[in-house]
């Protein structure tokens, strides 16, 4: 949550002139994105989000991410389209960094979703899965269960136990799950990170799904499982909100009914989803000094969800 780069107004005006979007009226660096800098830009023609890719995202992946936005947007999904420059390019470079101009969408991210909101999010997710069916490029999930298992094992039990005595057990579950992982579920391009702060809403309506920079080819039911883990709990993962989870799955199935094998796999997929966040948060935890000014996200918030899904099995999704 930061703006990592200072962009001079003069450079910004020159950049905007490369697009057919009128003249620069205002630009505010906004506190969104963890691996890129973002500005809310207003021109005489409208409002836009300018994203500068700072780290983690490879420029070679940008045609995939930006093309996906256009593909989903053209098919009526509430996804911001990419604004192409006068030469047709989806991204440009400023001071050696890649930047893209993206449609601004209204809406705010909810903290305490209602069942009606969760239902709308489930339906919107299913709609992107169907719309992505004919998106040609594929992209492997770099953060799949095998990666989570390796990452946690790589930390070592001592380092894990130093964070929390329950973490080494989570690492063992990850190793087991990597072996048992269901491999033949129907796939599509999936968001795989659809937390509430990546969804914009107005009332019960989803007005925007944003931050597709983890999008990859994955089992569609896994994407639903990620979204369930992200929405149907309090932040600390201590309290399950069954009415939210139920509404999310119902909303999803109102657009794309799950096959029997997808439904059967949900408890395992949800455990894998939890371990993906346990793994990344644990690595960040170890890499970030306790007195650093950035907030470390607690991996235990997803270890608690993991154990919930282990115990609850299918009932978590009913």
Interacting residues toward a second copy by CB under 8 A: 1-3, 8-10, 12-13, 24-32, 40, 42, 104, 106-112, 200-202, 292-294
Burial (0-12, 13-18, 19+ Cβ within 10 Å), 192: buried
Given the complex with a second copy, which of 62 and 210 has the nearer CB atom?
Answer: 210
Residue 135: CB minimum distance to a second copy, A? 28
Start-to-end CA distance of the chain, whole Å, equals: 35
Cα separations in angstroms, 153 against 44, 57, 149, 168, 169: 53, 25, 6, 8, 11
Q: Which is nearer to a second copy, 31 or 260 (CB)?
A: 31
| Shortest distance in whole angstroms from residue 108 CB to a second copy | 4
Give me the least distance between CB of 176 and a second copy, in Å please. Answer: 36
Residue 52 CB, nearest distance to a second copy (Å)?
A: 13
Burial zone of 50 (CB within 10 Å; 0-12 exposed, 13-18 middle, 19+ buried): buried
**148 close to 278: Cβ distance less than 8 angstroms:** yes
Distance in angstroms (rounded) separating the CA atoms of residues 145 and 60: 24
Which of residues 109 and 253 has its CB atom nearest to a second copy in the complex? 109
Q: How near is the Cβ of 9 to a second copy at its closest, in Å?
A: 4
Residue 22 Cβ, how far from a second copy at the closest point, in Å? 13
State both tokens at 32: 């969104």
Of residues 109 and 146, the one with the C-beta less far from a second copy: 109
User: What is d(CA 55, CA 313) in angstroms, rounded to the nearest whole number?
Assistant: 38
HSE, CB side, 13 Å, CA atoms: give it for residue 51: 28
Q: How far is the CB of 116 from a second copy (least distance, A)?
A: 14
How many other C-beta atoms are found inside a 10 Å radius of the C-beta of residue 36? 24
Per DSSP, the three-state class of 318 is: coil
Q: Would you say 26 or 59 has its CB closer to a second copy?
A: 26
- 118 versus 224: smaller Cβ distance to a second copy: 118
In angstroms, the CA 108 to CA 256 distance is 26
Considering beta carbons, is residue 12 or 241 the nearer one to a second copy? 12
Cβ atoms within 10 Å, residue 147: 17
């Amino acid at each position: 949550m930061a703006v990592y780069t200072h962009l001079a107004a003069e450079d910004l005006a020159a950049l905007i002139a490369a697009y057919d979007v009128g003249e620069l009226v205002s630009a505010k660096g906004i506190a969104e994105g963890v691996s890129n800098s973002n500005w809310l830009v207003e021109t005489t023609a409208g409002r836009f989000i300018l994203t500068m890719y700072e780290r983690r995202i490879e420029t070679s992946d940008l045609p995939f991410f930006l093309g996906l936005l256009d593909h989903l947007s053209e098919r009526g999904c509430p996804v911001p389209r990419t604004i192409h420059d006068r030469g047709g390019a989806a991204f440009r470079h400023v001071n050696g960094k890649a930047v893209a101009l993206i449609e601004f969408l209204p809406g705010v991210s909810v903290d305490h979703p209602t069942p009606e909101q969760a239902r709308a999010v489930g339906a919107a997710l299913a709609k992107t899965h169907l719309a992505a069916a004919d998106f040609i490029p594929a992209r492997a999930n770099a953060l799949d269960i095998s990666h989570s298992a390796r990452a946690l094992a790589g930390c070592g039990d001592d380092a894990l136990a130093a964070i929390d005595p329950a973490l080494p057990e989570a690492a063992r579950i990850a190793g087991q799950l990597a072996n048992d992982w269901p491999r033949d579920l129907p796939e599509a391009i999936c968001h795989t990170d659809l937390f509430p702060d990546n969804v914009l809403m107005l009332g019960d309506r989803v007005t925007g799904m944003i931050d597709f920079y983890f999008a990859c080819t994955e089992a569609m039911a896994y994407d639903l499982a990620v979204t369930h883990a992200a929405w149907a709990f309090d932040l600390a993962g201590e309290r399950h909100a069954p009415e939210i989870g139920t509404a999310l799955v119902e909303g999803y199935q109102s657009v794309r009914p799950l096959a029997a094998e997808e439904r059967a796999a949900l408890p395992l997929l949800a455990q894998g989803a939890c371990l993906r966040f346990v793994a990344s948060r644990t690595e960040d935890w170890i890499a970030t000094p306790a007195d650093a000014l950035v907030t470390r996200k607690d991996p235990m918030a997803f270890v608690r969800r993991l154990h919930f899904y282990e115990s609850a099995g299918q009932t978590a999704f009913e």
